[in-house]
Amino acid sequence: MHPALSIIVFTTASGLGYGLAAVLGLGLLDPAAISTKLAHMLALALIGGGLLSSTLHLGNPQRAWRALSQWRTSWLSREGVMAILTFVPLTLAAFAAIFQSRHLPAAGLAGTLGAAVTVWCTSMIYASLRSVQAWNTKLTPAFYLLFAAAGGALLATLFATLAGEVPVWLGLACLVLLVAGWAVRIAWRVRAATEQPLSTPETATGLGAIGRVRLFEAPHGTDNYLTREMGFRIARKHADKLFAIALCAGGVAPALLLVVAMLAGGRGLAIFALGLATLAHVAGVLIERWLFFAEAKHAMTNYYDRRAT
């Protein structure tokens, strides 16, 4: 599948924003601290910026509102509806923290639950597609949720440290989420690489009984929407190198820097380590999300005989 930059930015930024909003909604940070107020603003900015980025991938962005009407059958529509509904408690919680220095438990909890459901709806847009076998698994929503939670916990740890304390318990929770998220992502990739394809050129054409099907002539003589959006290919050796970079940047480096921050004697060193950990994690997730699309094979490519290499 074509790794569109707008969708990569959307899933990364909104996931990070919803993860941070979920932690803030639980009231784990001091609402009177300046850093907590900034955290609320950053969460809303990441969510809003991510959602706006997603519209850039639409053929007619001005008609995006119509997608909201199909919530009964479309995960894309459900995501849009949940994103709008979740903005209400998130905004109320942010207003109370920024202007009144207090935490609203009801609004916070509603925002946390809404954030989790919205990220889940986003992941189900891909997990529900049987035409892309690599995505069609419960592991897809699992690592989407874990990455959002890990990124949110990492940012929350940074903002809590800025407020004057190094929350070891939050850092430990972030470590667990990072390990779990990347463990699921690795399992997802192993499954995608080793599972036998359900759809092949033989099954797609119904000629499997005759023997191996080979392409005699391409369906199209020139490049088109199908080949651009669903026929993207990346060499396995390059994909492996990129995934190793994503794992090191998004998982290993943040985990090590988290340990440094928790063991640091001074708050300055802890803040520096957590800042680097956050930047590394975002970079790693961006690469991971690019690979999530680039390595996925759509069943349509069977008609172009683009077998895995």
- Alpha helix stretches (DSSP H) within the chain: 5-25, 34-55, 75-100, 105-127, 139-162, 168-194, 201-205, 225-230, 236-247, 253-263, 267-294
* Radius of gyration of the chain from its Cα atoms, rounded to whole angstroms: 21
What is the per-residue pLDDT for 236? 78
What was the pLDDT predicted at 152?
Answer: 96
Cβ atoms of 21 and 43 within 8 Å: the answer is yes
Q: What is the mean pLDDT of residues 163-171?
A: 84
Please give the pLDDT value at position 114: 97
User: Among the listed ranges 41-50, 224-233, 265-274, which one has the minimum average pLDDT value?
Assistant: 224-233
Q: Please give the CATH number for the structural domain made up of 5-304.
A: 1.20.1630.10
Domain locations along the chain: 5-304
pLDDT of the residue at 131: 86
pLDDT tier, 308 (very low <50, low <70, confident <90, very high otherwise): very low
Beta bridge partners of 298: 132
Residue 88 has pLDDT above 90, yes or no: yes
Please indicate, yes or no, whether the overall pTM of this predicted structure exceeds 0.85.
yes
Q: Which of 50-64, 124-138, 197-211 has the lowest mean pLDDT?
A: 50-64
* Sign (positive or negative) of CA dihedral 108, 94, 152, 296: positive
Q: What's the pLDDT at 99?
A: 95
Can you list the pairs that 216-222 forms with residues at least 24 positions away whose Cβ atoms lie under 8 Å? Answer: 218/304, 219/303, 219/304
Q: pLDDT: is 99 or 67 the higher one?
A: 99
pLDDT of 108 over the 90 cut: yes
Q: What is residue 65's predicted lDDT score, i.e. its pLDDT?
A: 66
Average pLDDT, the chain: 88
Residue 209 confidence class, pLDDT cut points 50, 70, 90: confident
Q: What is the pLDDT of residue 306?
A: 57
User: Given this model, what pLDDT does residue 298 score?
Assistant: 82
3-13 mean pLDDT: 90
Q: What is the pLDDT of residues 251-290, one digit of tens each?
A: 999 999 999 998 886 789 999 999 999 999 999 999 999 9
| Three-class secondary structure of residue 210 per DSSP | coil
User: Does the pLDDT of residue 190 top 60, yes or no?
Assistant: yes
Specify whether the CB–CB gap between 83 and 122 falls below 8 A.
Answer: no
Segment 71-86 shows an average pLDDT of 90
101-111 mean pLDDT? 96
Pick from 135, 137, 150, 119: which is nearest to 51 by CA?
Answer: 119
206 versus 253: which is more confidently predicted?
253
